[in-house]
Amino acid sequence: MDFGDLLTRHRDSIVGEWIRRLRTEVSPRYSGRPVDEYNRTISAAFDAYFAALVRNDYSRIDLVAQEIGKFRFDAGFTLSEVQKAFELFGLLVIPIIVTEMEGSAPETIAALERVSLCLNYTIHRFSDSFQTISEQEIRNYAQMLEVKVQDRTQQLAESEAKYRTLVEEIRDGYFVNQDGRIVFSNRAFAMMHGYTLEEVIGRPYTDFVAPESLEEVSRTYRSRIRDRQAREHYVYKRLHKTGTALPTENKVVVTVYDGRKAALGICRDITERLEIEKRVREAEHLAHIGEITTSLAHEIRNPLSAARMSIQMLLKSQTFKGNERRRLEILAQEVGRLNRLVTEMLDFARPMKFDLRPGSLSTLVDSCLDAIETRIVEKDIVITKKISGTLPLVSLDHEKMEQTVINLLLNAVEAVDREGRIDIAAGGGRGRAKTVRLHITDNGHGIDPENMPYIFDPFFSRKSKGTGLGLANAKKIVEAHGGRIEVLPAEPAGTRVILTIPVGEGRER
């Protein structure tokens, strides 16, 4: 899909929604501005983003940052307010990209990366613009002091207060490193490292750099102070007071502070950005796995269907008796198991369609128990069921939720020893949300604590037979119903699975 065409088609709706949110969500200062001003500035901003995203032309963003930055600064806006205003573009365009480009993961990822890079560039340009404007104003006032010192003293104080307000309200960390020590910072810098502002001032800058990044950051700092040839932008690990190392991006320049050379910098936490990039890579990987899985599953299902039909026909014949018939029955069971595994693979790989209707949880549980009755009888498992007759109906796709509950019950059957126990209970959910909670508890061998964080991961399994997709599909189905699934250790032994499902309409009878 052509990215430029997508932006063109949605231009009016994006600009309109951008203006509406700007007037209602960002700050009171934006709410009071005239409508024609919004039409002019937002249209210019959209066209600048269009040029950058489609033609890789960032010059118009530079112009917008310079013109609107000066305009907003003069009107008393903070950098944080302006940054939020331009970040709205990403909040509006990303859902459109994900929705309309969902058929092509590489194109979608490329489009999202371009939007992310464009937004980062814009924020940097506005930071630079605001910083340049602030420094220029201070220099202008300083020059005027030589001519009219007494008359301008108050104006200089006001300008200094405005600059400090700007620095304090910026969401990024702002600092001055002089002679290897932090001589100035805003509160955001202190909070990013887990300290108070008073604890930061005067400390060596190396106290805020993780050990794995210390050598490179120190070398960059020495080079910058000596000949100003070091990179302005770099990524490193900052050191939090708790000892945690966190990914951070720095932009540092050499300046003069209190008459002496110093490094002035802005640092930004990029943990969320890296996490988004990681999720995008994982999504691409899973999409590839899904394509392979779907192809393999279809190739396997056809011969399985033929084998199952042949076995069913043989079982109808009276020729096979005794051990021969038992072998055919076992073969039929194994073919059925393989067919279920193929179904799990297909359910994981393709989007599911749901037909949600109010239904009885008690009826659902009964039908699931009937479906696995043979397995329960084979192991002499004791089943207890405690479901209130006054439960509200739940909103569910009966077939998909039945698949989920059968899967969970089979897991419990496999986990318990002969003559084991499985308890099934249901009641109203906790809190104000209208939900029903279904508990399935067994007294089996339980799940090893080290495996618990990974049980919902696709293809994770400690069973000798299975795909590792059972719980992944169960989670997918339950969450598609607007519910959630929890797996907890049971006391004194075993596992408890809790399904929380939104209610439908009416009550069970």
pLDDT digits (tens, 9 = 90+) for 270-309: 888 888 877 777 666 666 666 666 666 666 666 767 777 7
- Residue pair 447/415 in contact by the 8 Å Cβ criterion: no
Half-sphere exposure of 439 (CA within 13 A, CB side): 20
pLDDT at 506 over 50: no
pLDDT > 50? residue 72: yes
Task: For residues 85-98, give the mean pLDDT.
Answer: 86
Q: By mean pLDDT, which of 302-306, 353-357, 367-371 is the weakest?
A: 302-306
CA distance 433 to 429: 7
So what's the pLDDT on residue 412? Answer: 92
Supply the pLDDT for residue 208: 94
- Look at residue 340 in the predicted model and tell me its pLDDT: 67
The model carries a pTM of 0.39
Is the Cβ–Cβ distance between 307 and 315 less than 8 Å?
no
The token duo for 279 is 């999720």
Q: Confidence band (pLDDT; 50, 70, 90) for 183?
A: very high
What's the pLDDT at 509?
43
In this structure, of 65-69, 149-153, 502-506, the range with the lowest mean pLDDT score is 149-153
Of 72-76, 407-411, 466-470, least confident by mean pLDDT is 466-470
Sign of CA dihedral 305, 307, 310, 316: negative
Q: What would the pLDDT profile of 14-60 be if each residue is shown by its tens digit? A: 988 988 888 888 888 888 888 888 888 889 889 988 988 888 898 98
Give the largest Cα separation in the chain, rounded. 116
Q: Which H or E element spans position 243? A: none
pLDDT for res 153: 57
d(CA 398, CA 355): 8
Q: What is the residue-averaged pLDDT of the chain? A: 81
Q: Which of 148-152, 181-185, 251-255 has the lowest mean pLDDT?
A: 148-152
199 or 170, which is more confident: 199
Angle at 436 between CA 431 and CA 439, to 5 degrees: 110
pLDDT above 50: residue 191? yes
Give 493 or 231, the one with higher predicted confidence: 493
What crossing angle do the helices spanning 149-169 and 79-100 adopt, rounded to 10°?
Answer: 30
The share of the chain scoring above pLDDT 70, in percent, equals: 83
Residue 243: pLDDT band with limits 50, 70, 90: very high
Would the pLDDT of 242 be above 50? yes
Residue ranges of the alpha helices (H) in 319-372? 322-349, 361-371
| SS3 track for 363-380 | HHHHHHHHHCHHHHHHCC
For 97-131, how does the pLDDT look when each residue is reduced to its tens digit (9 = 90+)? 888 876 667 888 888 888 888 888 888 887 887 77
pLDDT digits (tens, 9 = 90+) for 141-154: 777 767 676 666 56
Instruction: Note the pLDDT of residue 281.
Output: 74
Mean pLDDT lowest among 54-68, 137-151, 232-246: 137-151
Q: How far is CA 320 from CA 215, 225, 334, 492, in A?
A: 78, 91, 18, 47
Lowest average pLDDT, out of 50-64, 78-92, 126-140, 490-504, goes to 126-140
Where are the strands (E) in 157-291, listed by range? 173-178, 181-185, 233-239, 245-257, 260-269
Whole-number pLDDT of residue 504: 66
Percent of the residues in the chain that have a pLDDT greater than 90, as a whole number: 17
Does residue 175 have a pLDDT over 70?
Answer: yes
Q: Report the distance separating Cα 334 and Cα 29, nearest Å.
A: 69
Taking residues 427-442, report their average pLDDT. Answer: 80
